[in-house]
Amino acid sequence: MLLKDIKTWVTVPPSGIGGAFWVIVKVTTDDGIDGIGECYGIPVSGDIACRMVEDTFERYIAGEDPHHVETLFRRVYSAGFTQRPDVSMMGVFSGIEIAIWDILGKAHDQPVYQLLGGQFHDRIRTYTYLYPEAVGADGNPGDGAPDVYHDGDAAAARALDYIDMGFTAVKQDPAGPYSFQGGRELSLVELARCEDNVRKLRDAVGDRADILFGTHGQMTTSSAIRLARRLEPYDPLWFEEPCPPDQMEAIGRVAAATSIPVATGERLTTRVEFHQALKAGVSILQPDVGRSGGIWETKKIAALAELFNAQIAPHIYCGPIAHAAATHVAFSCPNFLILETIQTEFHDAILLQPLPWEAGYMPAPGEPGLGITLNETVVESHPYTPGGRLHLEMCQTVLDSNNRKTITELD
C-alpha cells in the first residue's frame, strides 16, 4: 500500500464561524483506500494554500508507505533546509497527515485512537465559545443580534442556552480587538468590561459550568496580570494566551503571577514550541491538530505535557475534519482536559453523518479511521474566490490604552 494521489478543496462556511475558509484534502492509496484531512490556519489565500499542499505531497509523500509517519514528518519538517517549527509548512503537513491516519485506520479496520495507544476515555468533555444565535458572513453578530462578545448580559443569556444543550464549560474573549502591533496595555474601560462580563457569567451559571477566559495575545505582561487579578474572584478554569505567542517568557510571568491556570497553543506548532510553553509555566496546552504537526505530533505533545503535570485542551476553530482528528487524540490521552467544539449547519452538512454529541460530551467513534465521510457535493457548492479573506485576520488599526472606540469602528 503506497500513497498515490491527492485532491484539495477550499470551502467557505456561510456563517464565517470556524474561519473564512477551510482547506480540505483527500489522499488516495494505490489500492484504492482514501483518507480525508484538514489544514488549519495557513496564512495565505486558500487557493495558494492548496497549491502548497499539493506541492508538498508530490515532493515528499507520494509513493511512500503510509505507515512511515515519522519519516514523512521529518522530511516535511526539514523542507527547504528549514528543520525548525514553521507554522505554514506544519499546517500543510498536518492536513495531509490527518488523511494518512484516516487511511491507516481504514486499512487496519480500527478507529484511529486504537492505533494511538487505545481508548482511554469513555467519552470526552467539550466546550463552546458563546456564539450569537444570528451571525453575518464574518462571524460577527448579525443585524439586531445581541453582542455576546462584549455585552455581559447578552453573554450570560447565551451561556444559559448552551448549558441547556448540556455543555458544562463556555468561553469568551471580551477583551477587545487583537491588533497586529502585539501586546498593549488595556484601558480601564476594557478591564472593567472584562470583569463585568465574567461576573455576570458566573452569576448566571453558578457552579453548573466552567468559565474559560479566552484572549488572543492582546496584552503586555503587566496588563495581563492586572486583568488576571480582576478575574480571580470568579474562578475561571483558564486564562488563555494573554500575551502574543512570540512572547513565551511573558506568558510564563503571567502564569507565575496568578492563581488562574494559563493556557496557550493555538498559534504554536510542533513539540519544540510546546516544550517552551511548558518550561515557561503554562499548565494547559491547546494544540490545533491541523497546525501542530498532525495527529502523531500532537500525541507527542500530550505525552510531553504529562512530564510537566500539565493537560491538553485541543483548540478547534476550523471545520469538522480537524475536529474529528482532535477527538481521536483526546480519546487516547490520559491528560486530556476538554475539547473545543463548533457545531453549525454547515459543519454538519459537509459530512454524510455529522459528528455526534451527547449532552455536551462526545462518544467514541466506532468506525474505522476518523469515522467520518466527506460530502464532496456540499464542499464544492461553497467555493472560495482566489484572493479572498484569509482564514483569520488581525485588526490592522494601531490601538492604545486610551482607546474608547467601538469594535465596529476599529474593524
Domain 114-366 has CATH 3.40.30.10: no
Higher pLDDT, 117 or 140: 117
- In eight-state DSSP terms, residue 112 is G
Instruction: Read off the pLDDT of each residue in 291-307 and give the average, rounded to a whole number.
Output: 98
Q: How much is the pLDDT for 407?
A: 43
Domain with CATH 3.30.390.10 in the chain: 3-111
**How confident is the model at residue 144, as a pLDDT?**
63
Q: What pLDDT, in 10s, does the model give residues 330-349?
A: 999 999 999 999 999 999 99
Strands 22-29 and 34-39: antiparallel
- The C-alpha angle with vertex 341 and arms to 340 and 342, in degrees rounded to 5, equals 140
State the CATH class of domain 3-111.
alpha beta
pTM of the model: 0.94
Q: DSSP per residue over 21-63, as a string?
A: -EEEEEEEETTS-EEEEEE---SS-HHHHHHHHHHHIIIIITT
Structure confidence by residue, pLDDT tens digits, 181-197: 889 999 998 999 999 99
List residues with catalytic annotation. 216, 315
What are the start and end residues of each CATH 3.20.20.120 domain in the chain? Answer: 114-366
Query: Which residues lie across from 184 on neighbouring strands?
Result: 219
DSSP3 helix / strand / coil % (the chain, rounded to 5): 40, 15, 45
* Lowest-confidence pick of 133-147, 170-184, 208-222, 299-313: 133-147
Rounded to the nearest 10 degrees, the angle between the axes of helix 248-257 and helix 270-280 is 40
- Segment 291-320 mean pLDDT: 98
- pLDDT value of residue 276: 98
